[in-house]
């Protein structure tokens, strides 16, 4: 192969790499979500809170306790969910969603494997906000 053929080969390889890699980087960019401003598609309603509560009782009490306070019979160091000031990872609806779906800190496991429908994670977000002091809860949707 002479030098012209060789450099042609290199540029074809380079172009192929660009064509293969650029859609990948587009996907990565699309996934970098700003959770602080991410809005819930599920309104804060009694029906949603009830669904979230059922999921909470099934998946979360062993560490956070039935009342969310993580005080009695629970695995150490889980956040008191009734106290927004105690949260380390943010209290906007998107940030709470992120903590539940993807895990938080060192010991909060991600739940995306067990709770597959994102709508169910949003129901959990709504239930958790219903544990907050009344003046910090969102307005209940009719
Ligand atoms: C294996 C124990 C465990 C289970 C089960 C668990 N959590 Fe947690 N969770 C933790 C710990 C520990 C933390 C504190 C993480 C840290 O160090 O910041 C936490 C933190 C959180 C936070 C973030 C609070 C903050 O500090 O910002 C939320 C929200 C939360 N948990 C919700 C849930 C929900 C909802 C469930 C059930 C779907 C659940 N957790 C199940 C252990 C658990």
Band of residue 139 on the pLDDT scale cut at 50, 70, 90: very high
Backbone angles phi, psi at 104, to 5 degrees: -150, 150
Buried residues in 7-30 as b, exposed as e (16+ CB within 10 A): eeeeeeeeeeeeeeeeeeeeeeee
Q: Indicate yes or no: pTM above 0.85.
A: no
Query: Does 64 contact ligand 1 (Cβ within 6 A)?
Result: yes
Residue nearest to atom 32 of ligand 1 (CA): 100
pLDDT score recorded for residue 26: 47
Q: Which domains does the chain have, with CATH numbers?
A: 33-136 (1.10.760.10)
At 55-110, the pLDDT tens digits run: 999 999 988 999 999 876 566 678 999 999 999 999 999 999 999 999 999 889 99
Residue 129 to residue 142: CA distance in whole angstroms: 17
Interacting residues of 61 by C-beta distance below 8 A, sequence separation 6+:
74
């Amino acid at each position: 192969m002479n030098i012209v053929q060789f450099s042609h080969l290199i540029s074809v390889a380079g172009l192929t790499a660009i064509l293969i890699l650029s859609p990948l980087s587009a996907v990565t960019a699309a996934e970098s979500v700003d959770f602080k401003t991410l809005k819930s598609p599920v309104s804060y309603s009694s029906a949603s809170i009830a669904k979230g509560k059922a999921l909470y009782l099934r998946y979360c009490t062993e560490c956070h306790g039935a009342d969310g306070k993580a005080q009695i019979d629970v695995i150490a160091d889980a956040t008191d969910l009734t106290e927004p000031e105690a949260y380390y990872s943010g209290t906007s609806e998107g940030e709470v969603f992120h903590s539940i779906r993807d895990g938080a800190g060192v010991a909060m496991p991600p739940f995306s494997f067990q709770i597959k429908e994102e709508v169910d994670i949003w129901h959990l977000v709504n239930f958790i906000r219903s544990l907050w002091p009344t003046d910090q809860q969102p307005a209940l949707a009719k």
